[in-house]
Structure 1
């Protein structure tokens, strides 16, 4: 059985980290099927998926979240959508991993870092692969 992984990263709130999302998605593919692979597409703009209405995007993404076994979110770029997805995942009882690159002038929300239901890992880009490897070793039996 292959894991179904929901990857969350900022789209409309900014695509400055799209290259990092692409790297994370590529690594996640080692561990299962990434239902939201498009989030890592470096060609996607802040407009997102323009062929669908907001309702269609919401309903599709919530359906993918329901199907998923785990949510992995890159949370450095502040995003209401990613926060919403994290909240929904926690409410559904999904395993939830948030990756955050510490910033000198910003702090991660206490609602994420303070939750006992969310694993938060501070990281630098060079650490992504080893962090995900460690996380999925404990996840997969």
Structure 2
């Protein structure tokens, strides 16, 4: 299965280690198209060889190619919110992971399309959720 993993970049990299661990876990039996989200050296200031327009096009193409979008939403991010809205627009299945220590945005929690919202307390619990749920999208 091809997975588009969404997590905060320019909105803050506080959860990059969580992203990395989840991406590594998912990549064992799937292809994560957005592995760079878990790269601790990924620049938050937008310094890249690609323009913002090129990044957007690349990411939209990956999302269209993916079988499933998985979004880690614990760190508020305009980009993640946009990606979720785009996934809804193209009717792409979405699984959301959110750490229990923070409150989920009402714009996400209140959207009927996002039925698979999962709260976790530890990385082990998040992996367990993914282990149980991802197979349902095959």
TM > 0.5: yes
Count, aligned residues: 136
What is the aligned partner in structure 1 of residue 82 from structure 2? 84
What is the aligned partner in structure 2 of residue 123 from structure 1? 120
| Secondary structure in 1 matching 2:97 | strand
Residue pairs, 1:26-105, within 5 angstroms: 26-48=24-46, 50-103=48-101
For residues 3-41 of structure 1, what are the alpha-carbon distances to aligned partners after superposition, in whole Å with 9 as ceiling and x for unaligned?
110000000011111000000101111331111000011
Question: Deviation above 2 Å: which 4+ runs of structure 1?
Answer: none
What is the aligned partner in structure 2 of residue 15 from structure 1? 13
Query: Which 5+ residue runs of structure 2 have no aligned equivalent?
Result: none
Cα RMSD, aligned residues only: 1.3
Residue 34 to residue 49, structure 1, CA distance change in 2 (3 Å):
farther
TM-score (norm 2): 0.92
Query: Which 5+ residue runs of structure 1 have no aligned equivalent?
Result: none
Q: Does the 8 A contact of 2:68 with 2:137 survive in 1?
A: no
